[in-house]
Amino acid sequence: MAATWNIKTMDRDLSDGGVTVAHWTVTDSETVGDNTYTAGSYGSCNFTPNPSASDFIAYNGLTESTVLEWVHAAVDKSAIEEGLKAQIAEQKTPTEAAGVPW
């Protein structure tokens, strides 16, 4: 399955509607037989909106896809998604374990 990115919430300046922080999540999963393995990550991106810029979009005019474009431009999207795949691979074939022998 492809990774699914979502914007969970945003912080904004109430005077001009400029978004200052976008909080995001990304999840991925893989089903093998009766087992489903999942991995996820959470993060936030800070922005410095400029209300006088020609490409400024105030909070009320934003879509999730637009904000995800901003987030993807600010993070290493490929590395994050590869990290999720590595988490799933570790779940499918663990290389470490915890516990006690008794």
Q: How many CB atoms lie within 10 A of CB 65?
A: 9
Per-residue pLDDT, 98: 94
Sketch the domain layout of the chain as residue ranges. Answer: 4-92
pLDDT, tens only, 37-59 = 999 999 999 999 999 999 999 99
pTM of the model: 0.89
Residues 6+ apart with CB under 8 A from 18: 12, 47, 49, 50, 51, 56, 58, 59
